[in-house]
Amino acid sequence: MKLSTKSWMFFISVIVFQAILTVSFLSYYLHKLNKEEALKEIKEEGKLVSDNYYSWKRHIWKNLVTIKNNPSWNKFIGDFSHKNSDLNQKIDLQKVLNNIIEISNVSRLDYIVVRLNQITLQQQINPATKFSTELLSHFEKLTVEKQHPYIENKPINDQLSLVGSFFDKINEQLNIEIFLVKFLDQPFLKNLSLNRKAQNLFYLEAETGKKVNQQILSEVEIFGQMQDKLYETRLTVTFNQNQHNRIIQKIEDIETQKGSQKLYLVTFMPNQPYASRLILMYEVLF
C-alpha cells in the first residue's frame, strides 16, 4: 500500500514538529538549569563572604572581651590608679600596649591604639599596612563613648575600618581608651573569598565609600533600589569590562559625616563558564 504525497508530508511535518518541540524543550530546560546553577553559586559565595565579614567582627569582639575581663588587665588598671602625675607619659601607654598584645590574639589586626590623658599611642600589628603622620592624626580623632566593649564601622583616613573600643576609668578625672583597628582594604576584601575568581567591594552611600573603592566603583553599574531587601542578585552584569554575576548584600548602617549611611557588600563572580556552557549547548542542538 503506497502512501500518498500528502500523507508523507504529514508524517514528515509531525516529525519536524516533534523535533522542534524537543529542541525547544531541551534549550529551555538547559538554559533554566544553567541560570539556577549560576544563581546558586553567587548566593553561596555571597553567604561565605558575609559570614567571613561577621567572623571578623566576632574576632575583634572576643579580643575586646578578653582584654576587658582579663585579671592581669584589671590589676594593670588598678596599679595605674595609684600612680602619681607621671601617669601621662608615653612609657605608661607602651606598657598598656604590651599588656594588650600579651593577653589577647591581635596578630590579625592592623593597629592597636591607646589614649591616656590626651596622649595617643599606636602599635602597628600588620607590617603590610602603610603608616603615615596623617593616619596618626586620624587615630587621635577616634572617640569612645562606652565603658563596655563595642564595635563600629567607620572611615579612618578615607578607609572604611572596623574599630572595636572601650574605656576604663583610672580615676574620676582620667580614662584609658582602647581601640582595635582593622582596615577594610583590598587585601581584606580579597581574603573574604576562598574562590580566587571572586571579587568583592564595599559600597557606601557617602563620598567616603566612593573614595575607598574609586578604582573599581567607577566601573560598577548603578544597581537598583535595594529598598528593604537584605540582598539582591543579578546575572550577566558588566564589571571591569567583563560579564559577571553579582550579589549585593546590606551589611549595616554606619554613621558618617553625612549622617547614617547604608553599607553594602558587593560580590562578583565571572559569568564566562556559564556563557561558554550555553554556547556549547546551542552548538550541539543546532
Helices in the chain by DSSP H: which ranges?
5-69, 71-81, 90-103, 133-140, 186-191, 207-212, 214-217, 272-285
Instruction: Please state, for a pLDDT cut of 70, what percent of the chain lies above it.
Output: 71
Element (H, E) at 249: strand 242-256
pLDDT bracket for residue 17 (50, 70, 90): low
What was the pLDDT predicted at 243? Answer: 79
Which has the higher per-residue pLDDT, 128 or 153? 153
Q: What is the pLDDT of residues 112-126, one digit of tens each?
A: 998 887 788 888 888
Cross-sheet strand order for the sheet of 231-239:
199-204, 259-270, 242-256, 231-239
By the 8 A CB rule, do 251 and 268 touch? no
Number of alpha carbons in the 13 Å side-chain half-sphere of residue 108: 14
* Averaged pLDDT, 146-152: 91
Class of residue 219 by CB neighbours under 10 A (exposed 0-12, middle 13-18, buried 19+):
exposed
What was the pLDDT predicted at 111? Answer: 92
Residue position matching grid coordinates 552611600:
205
pLDDT at 201 over 50: yes
What was the pLDDT predicted at 23? Answer: 63
pLDDT bracket for residue 70 (50, 70, 90): confident
* Averaged pLDDT, 46-62: 93
Side chain identity at residue 19, one-letter code: A
Name the DSSP letter for residue 50.
H
Can you read off the three cell numbers belonging to residue 108?
A: 590579625
Side chain identity at residue 159, one-letter code: Q
Using the Cα atoms of residue 123, residue 124, residue 126 and residue 129 in order, give the sign of their dihedral. Answer: positive
Instruction: Please state, for a pLDDT cut of 90, what percent of the chain lies above it.
Output: 16
| Number of Cβ atoms within 10 Å of the Cβ of 238 | 13
* Closest by CA position to 231, among listed 102, 65, 45: 45
Distant-in-sequence contacts of 252-256, Cβ < 8 A, 24+ apart: 252/153, 254/152, 254/153, 254/154, 254/204, 255/152, 255/154, 256/154, 256/155, 256/204, 256/206, 256/208
